[in-house]
Amino acid sequence: MSKNDDTILEFLAETGAAFSKRGLEVNFERRDIEVSYSTIKRRIQRLEAAGLTECVEDSGGYYEITDFGERYLHGDLDDDELAELKGRSP
C-alpha cells in the first residue's frame, strides 16, 4: 500500500460516506490534499481489488471503505490477512 492509498482510505473512513473518483478529487482539493485525479483513478481500482474499498453504485462509481479497509487502517489485521492483502494488491 502507498501513502496515497492510506490518504484515500483515511478520508473515506473519516467521512463515512461513499464518493465518486471526481468527488474524492474535489474534496481533496478543498482540503489541500495533493492526490491527483489520475492517481485516485488508478489507486481506487487497486484498493477495490485488494478488498479495502468497494463500489456501491455501479452506474455512478461511488466507493466506500470496507470493514477490511477499516481494520487495515487501525492495524487490526493478523499476519495471515496481511499476507493475503499483499497477494491481492496488484
Question: How many domains does the chain fold into?
Answer: 1
In the chain, the percentage of residues whose pLDDT exceeds 70 is 94
Is 90 a member of any domain? Answer: no
Residue 49 falls within a domain, yes or no? yes
pLDDT in tens, 59-81: 779 999 999 999 999 999 888 88
Residue 69 belongs to domain spanning: 3-84
- Mean residue pLDDT of the chain comes to 91
Query: Which residues have a Cβ under 8 Å from the Cβ of 11 and sit 6 or more positions away?
Result: 24, 27, 28, 33
CATH number assigned to the domain comprising residue 41: 1.10.10.10
Whether the Cβ atoms of residue 63 and residue 55 lie closer than 8 Å to each other: yes
- What residue spans of the chain are helical by DSSP H? 3-15, 21-30, 37-49, 67-73, 79-88
User: Would you say the pTM of this structure is higher than 0.85?
Assistant: yes
**At residue 14, does pLDDT exceed 90?**
yes
